[in-house]
Amino acid sequence: MTTPPESADSTTAESTSPSGTGATSKGLDAEVARRRTFAVISHPDAGKSTLTEALALHARMISEAGAIHGKAGRRSTVSDWMEMEKARGISVSSTALQFNYEDSVINLVDTPGHSDFSEDTYRVLTAVDAAVMLIDAAKGLEPQTLKLFQVCRHRGIPVITVINKWDRPGRAPLELLDEIQERIGLTPTPLFLPVGIAGDFRGLLRRGEEGRAQEYIRFTRTAGGATIAPEELLDVDAALAREGDEWVTAAEESELLSATGQDHDQELFLAGHTSPVIYASAMLNFGVKEILETLVELAPPPHSRTDIDDHEREVTDPFSAVVFKVQAGMDTAHRDRLAFMRIVSGVFERGMVVTHAQTGKPFTTKYAQTVFGRERSTVDSAYPGDVVGLVNATALAPGHTLYTDKKVEFPPIPSFAPEFFSILRAESASKYKQFRKAVDQLDSEGVVQVLRNDIRGDASPVLAAVGPMQFEVVAARMKAEFNVEARMEPLGYGLARRTDAESAVELGRQRGVEVFTRSDGVLLALVSDKWRLQYIQKEMPELTLEPLVAAAD
């Protein structure tokens, strides 16, 4: 992993230090206004991790980029720290990066790229105020991107669109915009248009009022895209003289978009009706500065959140936060685990005693850190929008609330309906203690859902997952972190339904059905297939068999 330059530590410390002793309303408002908290959503291999690193490079948090699919000897991206991620070139866990850009504090929450980990991505989207939707210039909108966009729409998260890989052959720029509008009903409003077709990326035309070309941002390649690409700003006349027909085409397309109403409107963007669009190449670092500038200028700062009683928790209210992610194994030397919390309101100060809403017990925050890949630094203060990692917070789980002063509790994060089921067994009986510890930890992190019943016992719990790759992560982490060899035995069920204690007795007598208790106390009936489910519902309609949240919801 690329280590941040020495100046990065001071920058991070500055971003998380209080603006003064105590938290005046004016000072808190100013800190909130500086924050931008967002996630990148995309289909696998659209370049999400590469973009994450390119953004960190432009923010001067690292001195050299290393793309996953780069040349031999180049390092994995800073946000991908698991060996499985480095080997496969995909993200299978979510991480949080914080850095300063100009006068703003950026909280970038990286998400898993593979659809098997959509539950983890959903948790991340509960913690952000905006999203960057990354689209491959050659492939356009893909299934996973569509699913995640629907989550953003459901949660009212405004979306900035980045059409990536413009340095490679791809589709026409207006064709991609038409697809966005037709398939998801989001009106794209480009802030920039590419000069040069896909595969011949020369620079960007900055659009002004009524679609008029404002200036030309010309890029120069660097060796392997490892450093920031130099930019040259040219006026319209100089751009025409340099690029000729390519410039004329981009300028005409800009005016055409304006004629059809595809100019940026901030109110429509925040309402989720439109999406600013930027064309870029994360691999070459082309257009990355423009993405950061757009986030700072247009993405919303942190705002109020609704609690379970339907009351608004304002950012200026006393401290409160939501845990959206628990992750262990990031520090192999200490084998600790981090609970990532998003600050919702008030000022967080390290060492403060808060209340854990789910238990009502006090919770001490002595060990609080910001995270940059695997690199960590102690955080003394944080503000709404910031993501803080609490070390060894074993009582915390995704969806939990922390607060001070008057009680507040935010809605829990729903678990997705699993579709894959396996029995987990330890290869060696002598490792049973480590086996139990590993299962409990991975369960508390939400890596998989763990199901148990009296017949199977604790020695062979059933794992339930949205996608089969989750099982691979379990096996890999059990071996790497607990030195436990485990095997998976597929279980012949195809779907799960929520049930109750009264119905569980009768369901347990049915062929092709088995009832389990999930670690959160929910009773789940696993059914062999949809036909068996339909039969039971028809013959015994009085039994409770409720659908769970689907991954596409």
* pLDDT tens profile 361-404: 999 999 998 876 567 789 999 999 999 999 878 889 889 999 99
CA-based max dimension of the chain: 80
**Rounded Cα–Cα distance for residues 417 and 439 (Å):** 20
Yes or no: domain 306-403 corresponds to CATH 3.40.190.10: no
**Rounded Cα–Cα distance for residues 136 and 93 (Å):** 21
Listed residue (398, 397, 407, 408) closest to 307, CA to CA: 408
Structure tokens at 336: 């600790």
- The reported pTM is 0.80
**Rounded Cα–Cα distance for residues 500 and 106 (Å):** 44
Q: Give residues with Cβ within 8 angstroms of 420, minimum separation 6.
A: 464, 465, 466, 467, 468, 470, 471
- Ligand-binding annotation for 114, yes or no, is yes
- Ligand-binding annotation for 273, yes or no, is no
Asked if 121 and 41 touch (Cβ cutoff 8 Å), the reply is yes
What φ, ψ does residue 531 adopt, rounded to 5°?
Answer: -70, -40
For the chain, residues classed under CATH 2.40.30.10 are 306-403
**Rounded Cα–Cα distance for residues 450 and 248 (Å):** 59
Instruction: Check the CA dihedral 237-243-245-251 and report its sign.
Output: negative
Residue 122: per-residue pLDDT: 81
Residue 24: per-residue pLDDT: 64
**Rounded Cα–Cα distance for residues 413 and 233 (Å):** 46
CATH fold of the domain at 420-539: Alpha-Beta Plaits (3.30.70)
Q: Which portions of the chain are predicted below pLDDT 70?
A: 1-24, 63-95, 112-118, 329-336, 372-374, 550-553
- Ligand-binding annotation for 113, yes or no, is yes
For the chain, residues classed under CATH 3.30.70.3280 are 420-539
- Ligand-binding annotation for 116, yes or no, is no
Asked if 130 and 272 touch (Cβ cutoff 8 Å), the reply is no
CATH fold of the domain at 6-15+23-301: Rossmann fold (3.40.50)
Residue 329: per-residue pLDDT: 60
- Ligand-binding annotation for 111, yes or no, is yes
For the chain, residues classed under CATH 3.40.50.300 are 6-15+23-301
73 in the Ramachandran plot: left (φ > 0), alpha (ψ -120 to 50) or beta?
left
What are the pLDDT digits (tens) for 277-334? 999 999 999 999 999 999 999 999 999 999 999 999 999 999 999 999 888 765 555 5
Residue 99: per-residue pLDDT: 87
